[in-house]
Structure 1
């Protein structure tokens, strides 16, 4: 009986707070997507460049810098952003963008360097330009590696975005923080479950895209 009442009360809570929950989800998606897109725009071209123009000291330098951001605790990195960019979405996006760099960069580099050099030599002999070799040969073969990095990064970023609420960025983390502040379990449960489901759905969607690409190839 008590369990039935608890479920009824929770469903009523969801109905009454639906607009706020939807707003928090959209804010969470916005922060996560912008961070990931910036990471892809920077890390993918950089990974391709490093793979095709291997310079040992440059590779070491770039990966050291990208790895450095991963060693900084997420809460500490968000705190560092406050004096530089204030509070809100902007510092959260920049911090999460820095976190997204290493896995995307590493998997892009690994994917492009895994392509058999004899295939590239044959393509070069057939008159393929550097751009054609990248787009028509290396990119399709490296795509599974890249998608693996992107999937992992998306799950991480969606999870870490919950901490962005601590610097006023909003999102589902705001519901969790507010729930802890007023001791309201419904807010904590809703924010946590929504973040988990969002990460799982995103991973599933990217998995389907990867499989579709592999079948079409």
Structure 2
């Protein structure tokens, strides 16, 4: 029996890529978002505290600030054999273990963004080396997701760097478009579609002619900077 705890973006993504199982339950404090997910995913059922003792696997799709309140309140209700899949990027396994008093914890981190992974219905989960043996079972549970072996710290750093780069780019582009008096409608589409399309094309080596010229120009500029020392 599986239990998804939380009803936000991460929980929605997890349910989207999870293999359907009629023994999957959803528990969350926000009744509105829980109800929405129950309607969206017909294979899940609403979870209640009185069935926590029967759960084998718990997927913690909570923000870091909500971990302690949930676990300290409910962890004694769960079986000693339960496994907590800990998914908050900003928390480490050692921190969560302190909250569950010896129960099993497996870090299961998403490298990337939950909204995009849900939309594309694929992505990459990361587990650390010491639980490598869990790779096959996790891949079976999430058939459209890749499973990589790496440290929690690597995922945290990669997501931090990616987020910082994305925010910096959007803020800079927004300001530049304003300076050129580009209409808000065109600016919105440029940010929403041009950025994503070019990034995807760059990664898949499928850029258009205009983008290829810009890449070559930037490479030449970079080579010139290196030559200058």
State TM-score, norm by structure 1: 0.22
Task: Select the structure with the greater relative contact order (CA < 8 A; seq sep ≥ 6).
Answer: 1
More strand by share: 2
More helix by share: 1
